[in-house]
Structure 1
């Protein structure tokens, strides 16, 4: 998003008290975040004005049904930035949502501070790892890990800690094109083992899962 733009959100939750509370948190954030659409079903994120919201905040359990993994996948496949906001705090559910492509996963117990911070990060496409997700990433993963070269890992970690690829290139003494080449290789390797990572936020998630970086390092 451009500097100074208002962050817009489509909020999906079937509990009126949650909707009211999150609206208040966003309205009193600095700067305020605008809820442009809200509702008890994902339809609010697909119809105007929710279809243009920068971020979708999705409750994982709607109307007492099973986890809304299908709705999450549809939103992700459409290129939406989705924050899963749920009562569930188990590692398997969190990692499943991240594997589908959620931007982040927050439990409702984590409250205002983390939801607002995650929303701002999602709008800017910057990584954000709240405590529940950090715990899930710290769990043992059965998924296959891609074999990254030492140089690929080095470029990846530098990119996580720099504001731009140009700065990564300067610090490593290579060109920005070479930085892009290494990052493309890393993404391909993750895709080849079924753990797609199309954005910087997703690559950060994979790297934490695989022990390449710690949350405290970011």
Structure 2
């Protein structure tokens, strides 16, 4: 975890104390300090506004260079920083004001490598004028919707009554379009993020208690 507020770190430790599948193994006030000592990390939970003056983009890129995905946990008071983090390639953005259960569920999903499509992330994307939307044909959209939602290429082919080779060709073309737009999507989870960003898939609604 990278956060320079001890209260937040202590709070997360309390929230994870009863979890048998998640452990807070290291924390630091800067990204550089986190990686100063070797540690096996499956995920970094990152605060956006650090007192060292670092930027969300720089921090996310530095963490991902170590091969570790990022989940942003933020107070969300600065929409620009939230949008910057969303563009940088994080798995999700969640507010510190969310319930302990929601935060733990988000961390658990991110540890599994899953995208965490919260309403906070959706709001950041909706308000981002710099996202270059990709125009897809109706058939490409159908393939993306099914595949990004979790179906295999074989199942997509069966549902749309086309060959598996055609599905894979469409996916290559879709990935090329996103790469050309400066929004690469080399993995299935990245395609899922792009489908959410462009409105091809709906953001999950927040569960009511």
**Does the Cα contact within 8 Å between 2:118 and 2:204 map onto a contact in 1?**
no
Q: Which segments of 5 or more consecutive residues in structure 2 lack a partner in the other structure? A: none
**Does the Cα contact within 8 Å between 1:99 and 1:196 map onto a contact in 2?**
no
Normalising to structure 2: TM-score of the pair?
0.83
Aligned to 2:137: 149
Q: Which segments of 5 or more consecutive residues in structure 1 lack a partner in the other structure? A: 1-10
CA distance in structure 1 between the aligned counterparts of 2:103 and 2:172, rounded to whole angstroms:
30
Alignment of 1:181-196 (within 5 A): 181-196=169-184
Q: Number of residues paired by the alignment? A: 205
Aligned to 2:11: 21
Using a 3 Å threshold, how does the CA distance of structure 1 residues 200 and 110 change in structure 2: closer, same or farther? farther
**Does the Cα contact within 8 Å between 2:149 and 2:192 map onto a contact in 1?**
no
Using a 3 Å threshold, how does the CA distance of structure 1 residues 42 and 177 change in structure 2: closer, same or farther? farther
**Does the Cα contact within 8 Å between 2:179 and 2:185 map onto a contact in 1?**
yes
Using a 3 Å threshold, how does the CA distance of structure 1 residues 92 and 202 change in structure 2: closer, same or farther? farther
CA distance in structure 2 between the aligned counterparts of 1:139 and 1:68, rounded to whole angstroms:
17
CA distance in structure 1 between the aligned counterparts of 2:197 and 2:126, rounded to whole angstroms:
6
Aligned to 1:12: 2
What's the offset of the Cα at 1:66?
Answer: 4.8
**Does the Cα contact within 8 Å between 1:58 and 1:84 map onto a contact in 2?**
yes
**Does the Cα contact within 8 Å between 1:190 and 1:197 map onto a contact in 2?**
yes
Higher strand share: 1
Find 2:121's aligned residue among 124, 129, 133.
133
What's the offset of the Cα at 1:199?
Answer: 3.3
Normalising to structure 1: TM-score of the pair?
0.80
